[in-house]
Amino acid sequence: MQTIARTNRVFEAKKNGLIVDYFGVFRDLKKALSVYAEGSAGATSPLDMPVKELEELLKLLEEAIEECKTYLLGLGVDVNKIHALGDKGFKGVTLFKDYADVILKKDEYKKAFNLYVNTIVALYDSAKPEVYTLPQVKKDRDLFLYLKEMVNRNLDKSDLLEKIRDEVDELLDTSVVSEGDLLEYKIQKSITDYKEINLSQLDFESLRKEFPVKEHKQIAFADLRAFMELKLQQMIRQNKSRGKFLESFEQIIDEYNNGSVEIEEAYKKLLEEAKALSEEESRAIKEGLSEEQLEIFDLLKKEKLTLKEKAEVKKASVKLLEVLQSKREKLFVDPWYKEGQRKELVKNEIREVLNSYLPPSYSKDIFMVKNDELYNHIYSLAEKRDERYLCA
């Protein structure tokens, strides 16, 4: 039992272990279990065995493949038609794009398909090396993986992403595996490491006009959606007050998924949202502030500011950052956010600057709310290990 337990210890990259039984230990194991470990299904039930015959694993793999094919057939996707084309390389098969377009009609289709493929891949990997004697299983596995990459927009971004300037091409690092046409897609960098995407480079009017005549509308919609998700994450990381753009974006996606709007209308709304993001992207320059200063300004501003008051709030934003950075070594000794006395030092510094520079129209209540919002913002950044607010 110890041997079996150790072999079957699993973790993220290991789903199961393989035991080669030369001595007949499984026979003895069954005898032991019949005496000491009668389970809910009975002592002799194979369901109670902590190990299974490899043939059962291969059977599960084949069943998973058939279930996936049946699910796709229900959507109008017949992957056997691709197999019927013979040994033609995947890249030359237009059916992949047609089928991806169908699966992308609803998020639930995509999620279910990804779940099927992940299960098939896990079972396939667990059944090595015996599974190599089943060439058709490997063909099915490769086909599903390629289609999954197409559905997840890791392949063939030509509809939208070729329209974006060279920076976008550098966002993704894709490496090709020399095993048939199978592509292993790898995102090497986190979202925060990506080069900035300039939305002003998108021709919104051309995209709007081209969409109605596109053959694969779901793919074009998925590409625009993926691009905007990436950009939204970048922009919200720069300025957390931009969460309203994310809410608007998610509402469009929800409306489309629940059938409230047709794809043409959803695509139009996404383009309008992208245009609004483009305008937001240039707001810091228009306000004469850096992105960091703009974020502080957005947290400090209140409704119905006069031009004079707006200028004063801007000045308060700039001054606050200057003071905090000039006193960084005094205020932000790591881990200041866990120590009561040091937290009070930061709070007092913020309070003094805001008290000196915010307009008189800020009532006591508004002042305290803004003071707390600024402190909580800086506290949150320090907790996330933002080096601007940490010092050794």
The pLDDT of residue 232? 87
Query: Which residues 6+ apart lie within 8 Å of 316 measured at CB?
Result: 300, 353, 354, 357, 358
- Backbone angles phi and psi of 184, in degrees to 5: -100, 110
- Predicted local distance difference test score (pLDDT) of residue 190: 30
CA distance 345 to 331: 7
pLDDT for the residue 209: 87
Can you give the pLDDT at residue 298? 94
- Residue 305 pLDDT: 93
Q: Specify the pLDDT at position 166.
A: 39
Q: In angstroms, how far is CA 193 from the centroid of its own chain?
A: 14
pLDDT of residue 119: 93
129 Cα distance to chain centroid: 33
Residue 11 dihedral angles phi and psi, to the nearest 5° = -150, -170
**Helices of type H across the chain:** 2-7, 25-36, 54-74, 80-83, 95-103, 107-126, 135-151, 166-169, 204-210, 217-238, 243-257, 263-281, 283-287, 291-300, 307-326, 328-331, 340-357, 364-383
Confidence (pLDDT) at 169: 40
Q: Average pLDDT of each block of 10 consecutive residues along the chain (392 residues)?
A: 63 64 65 58 50 80 95 95 82 85 93 95 87 91 92 62 40 33 32 48 80 89 86 86 91 91 92 90 91 94 93 95 92 92 94 94 94 94 90 82
